[in-house]
Amino acid sequence: MELTDQLSESELQIASALADMAIARGGTFDDYQTPIYLRGLVDLDSQLVARACEALGLEPREDYTPVVPPVGTIRQRVGELARKDTAAEAAKKLLPLPVSEDNEKPYFCLDCRDEPYAWRVYRCGGLGKAAGMVGGEGAVFACARRNDHAAHTYVERCGCYSTNPVSAEHRRRMDAAKAKRETKRR
């Protein structure tokens, strides 16, 4: 009885991807290696594992490195692909950027004015004896505090947070800069 007869569809796809990667990297993938790699990769999405193996198969192999990279390297590549897929799905949900015919900056959202993290600023006039006027422009909205308090400003997340392409682009640039700083620290 062959090993391939005992494998599920998902496991068969992973084993096939591993074998193809080994061939692409100038080697072979033996049947005794299959169960070892499957134990480390079977909990992952088989399509992502296949894509990771394909990408790793296209990379040049250094001298004296194994034909099939360690399970941890494949898992790391699968994680990177999953994060890219998630980011691409989020980008698809974004609405198109606004276009303005005059020289004014067009805002995607007039409520938060495309604040990078989609915070809307409100003013509260206070409550009770401590109430007063708070500076700034715009309407005054009561906050959720129930005790007496002085006038103040507060923020709430705007409803456009998940669909605003301007804010999303800013967050993407900030995340990329943070990742770059983290890479330099290592």
Q: Please check whether residue 84 is in contact with residue 122, taking contact to mean a CB–CB distance below 8 angstroms.
A: no
Query: pTM of the predicted model, to two decimals?
Result: 0.55
Q: What pLDDT, on a 0 to 100 scale, did the predictor assign at position 170? A: 85
What pLDDT, on a 0 to 100 scale, did the predictor assign at position 165? Answer: 85
Mean pLDDT by 10 residues, the chain (186 residues): 70 92 89 89 92 92 88 92 86 67 72 84 83 71 85 86 84 87 79
Give CA 160 to chain center in angstroms.
Answer: 18
- pLDDT attached to residue 32: 87
DSSP state of 113: T
Contact indicator for 136, 119 with CB cutoff of 8 Å = no
Residues 6+ apart with CB under 8 A from 94: 163, 164, 165, 168
Contact 125, 131 (CB under 8 A): yes
According to the model, what pLDDT value does residue 40 have?
A: 92
At residue 56, the pLDDT reads 93
**Which pLDDT score, from 0 to 100, does residue 1 have?**
41
Q: What is the pLDDT of residue 71?
A: 93
Residue-level pLDDT at 97: 62
Q: Where are the domains of the chain?
A: 3-93, 119-157
Q: Give the pLDDT score at 107.
A: 78
